[in-house]
Structure 1
Amino acid sequence: MTSPEPKTHSEGVYASLRAELLGGAFLPGSKLRLAGLGTRYGVSLSVVREAMTRLAGEGLVRALPQRGFCVTPLSIEDLLDLTRARVLIETAVLRESISQGGLEWESAVIAAHHTLQGTPYTTREGHLGGAWSEAHHAFHRALLTGAKSPRLESIATELRDCSLLYQHWSIEIAGDVDRDVAAEHRHIADLAVARDAEGAVQALTEHIERTTAALLAYAESQTGQQRAAGIPA
Structure 2
Amino acid sequence: MDKPASVQSVNGGHGLAPITRETVNDKVYAELRRSLIHGMFAPGETLRIADLADRFQTSTMPVRDALSRLVSEHALEALPNRSVRVPVITLDRLEDLSRARRLIEGQVTLLAMDNLTADDFRTLRTLTEDCERAFVNRSPDSIRAAIELNHAFHNHIYRAAGSRVLTPVIESLWLQSGAFVQKAAFLHDEKQDPAGTHHHWALITALERRDGAAAVTALNNDIARAFNLIRVQFEREATEGQTAHG
TM-score normalised to structure 2 length:
0.69
**C-alpha RMSD of matched pairs (Å):** 3.7
Residue matched to 1:161: 175
User: Does the aligned pair in 1 maintain the 2:70–2:76 contact within 8 Å?
Assistant: yes
Aligned with 2:77: secondary structure? strand
TM-score normalised to structure 1 length:
0.72
1:166 corresponds to which letter in structure 2?
A: F
Deviation per residue, 1:152-206 (Å, 9 max, x gap): 2332233233221111011235746514422221111111111111111111111
Aligned with 1:229: secondary structure? helix
Aligned with 2:117: secondary structure? helix
Query: Percentage identity across aligned positions?
Result: 25
Residues in 2 aligned to 1:128 and 1:55: alpha-carbon distance in whole angstroms: 27
- The one of the two structures with greater contact order (alpha-carbon pairs below 8 A, sep at least 6) is 2
Aligned-residue offset at 1:67:
4.6
Paired residue total: 218
Structure 1 residue 86 corresponds to structure 2 residue 101: yes
Shift of the 157–7 alpha-carbon distance from structure 1 to 2, 3 Å rule, reads closer
User: Does the aligned pair in 1 maintain the 2:101–2:170 contact within 8 Å?
Assistant: yes
Residue matched to 2:217: 202
Aligned with 2:96: secondary structure? helix
Q: 2:230 aligns with which of 198, 204, 215?
A: 215
2:99 corresponds to which letter in structure 1?
A: R
1:139 corresponds to which letter in structure 2?
A: F
Residues in 1 aligned to 2:142 and 2:179: alpha-carbon distance in whole angstroms: 11
Deviation per residue, 1:106-147 (Å, 9 max, x gap): 421331331331243345524554443333222212223443
User: Does the aligned pair in 1 maintain the 2:49–2:60 contact within 8 Å?
Assistant: yes
Unaligned residue ranges in structure 1 (runs of 5+) = 1-5
Q: Which has the larger radius of gyration?
A: 1
Shift of the 23–229 alpha-carbon distance from structure 1 to 2, 3 Å rule, reads farther
Residue matched to 2:7: none
Structure 1 residue 230 corresponds to structure 2 residue 245: yes
Aligned with 1:181: secondary structure? coil
